[in-house]
Every structure is written in structure tokens, then in C-alpha cells.
Amino acid sequence: MLKREIDIPLAEATLAGILRLPEAARGMVLFAHGSGSSRHSPRNNYVAERLAASGMATLLSDLLTAQEDQADAITAEFRFDIPLLTARLLGATEWLHRQRSLQDLPLGYFGASTGAAAALAAAAQMPEVRAVVSRGGRPDLAGPELARVRAPTLLIVGGDDPQVLSLNRAALAHLGAEARLEIVPRATHLFVEPGALEQVAALAADWFERHLRRRGDEAPQTSDAARP
């Protein structure tokens, strides 16, 4: 598997990312991190490794520059700027579409925290996005864009994260496509409990395997981990 650090040049900024490209990749998952996180997030990198093992290419992209991230740590001016995060995610998506080795892979988004709102808002503008997964996300921050999402969406929330769970339940009713809420029992917001992140990765891998298929491919069978 190829794994390397990359730069993603946009009109107004250059974003840093980590690209994983397994041999004969069957899809591409673009990660959107929340505030205070980055492409080096151990949790998102763990999920990315599991997705790569299942045949999915992944791109973990920072949505803020290093200077913006430093400013945000002091002023919090960017962490809830969903339009900015969405624009950056759309820019990274357009960069992927220009890469000959990646442009034909079915595309999905994986968002965490506020990055989940950006992923959903971007998916509302990108009909080619085939699936979205949110981990401990704030889909409510996508606002009216939720109704425009057409990509099948999986919301994963810890059972011991009551405020975020309530927000996800409310957002679920507003999503405009197939949507599902999975609750990981006894998990808190960061899924640090033993086995919690493994459940997240298994659920995400199953969702993307089901929905990121090339035209004509047969749908793989749903694993027990993702059944209600």
C-alpha cells in the first residue's frame, strides 16, 4: 500500500494531507477533521488504516492551514466556520478529481465533530459523493443543507455522549437520503473506551463497502457489525 504526505494546492491556501492508496483500490474516502484535530489524528488514522485494509483509498486532509490552526487555538474563529470548512473540503475533492490515478474511484466522505457538518454540506453540493459517515459529528451544524444531501449517510455516536446523541437524532429526521444512526454502547465522544473505535471502523468499512461500488459491481453482503 502506498502511503505518503501530500500538498493540496487550492486557490487561497495549500492544505496538507496523508494519502493511502491500496493496490486495486475500490473507492476513495476523504476525511474531514473537526476543530483541534488534524491529518495526524490517531483516531481517524486508525479508521483510515482499517478502510485501506478493506480496499478503500483514503485521504486525510487538513481543512485549515498551520497558521489558521494556530489562530483558531487562541480565538476559536475557524472551528465553527462551516462554510469555510465546506469550501476547503470541496477544493480537496476537486483536487482528487484532477488526479488520473484517483479520479475514477467512487467517492465517500468521513467526517468527525464539526468536520461532519462540512462533509454533509459538501455532499449536498456534490452529487457524485456516494456515501457519508459521521463519527461523533455535529450534523446539525450543516443546517438546511441536510435536506439536500442525497448520499446515504451513517451517523455513529457514543451511547455515553448524550448531547451529541440528541443532536444526531434530531438531524437524522432532516437528512434527505437514506440515513441511519448507530449507537456504540458505553462509548464517550472520542471513543476511547476499549473496543469502541474498532466498532466505529467496522461500521464505517461496511457502509463504504456497500455504497462505494463501481457501476455493475454486486453489493457485498452486510456484516453483522452493521445490522440493527
Predicted pLDDT at 36: 65
Residues of the chain with pLDDT under 50: 218-228
Residues in the chain, overall count:
228
Predicted pLDDT at 117: 96
Cα-trace Rg, the chain:
16
Place of cell 459517515: 133
Cα separation, 39 vs 61, in Å, equals 6
Measured N-to-C along each axis, helices 196-211 and 42-53 cross at an angle, to the nearest 10 degrees, of: 50
Written as nine digits, the cell of 175 is 437528512
Written as nine digits, the cell of 77 is 474563529
Residue among 197, 196, 170, 192 nearest 181 (CA): 170
Predicted pLDDT at 38: 74
Predicted pLDDT at 192: 95
φ, ψ for residue 199, nearest 5 deg: -65, -40
Residue among 174, 171, 167 nearest 189 (CA): 167
Predicted pLDDT at 34: 74
pTM higher than 0.75, yes or no?
yes
Determine contact, residues 196/174, Cβ cutoff 8 Å: no
φ, ψ for residue 205, nearest 5 deg: -60, -40
- CATH homologous superfamily of 2-226 equals Alpha/Beta hydrolase fold, catalytic domain (3.40.50.1820)
Rounded to whole angstroms, what are the CA distances from 42 to 47, 169, 187, 188? 9, 27, 17, 16
Predicted pLDDT at 220: 42
Predicted pLDDT at 12: 86
Residue 144 CB neighbours (<10 A): 9
Strands 179-184, 14-21: pairing kind? unpaired
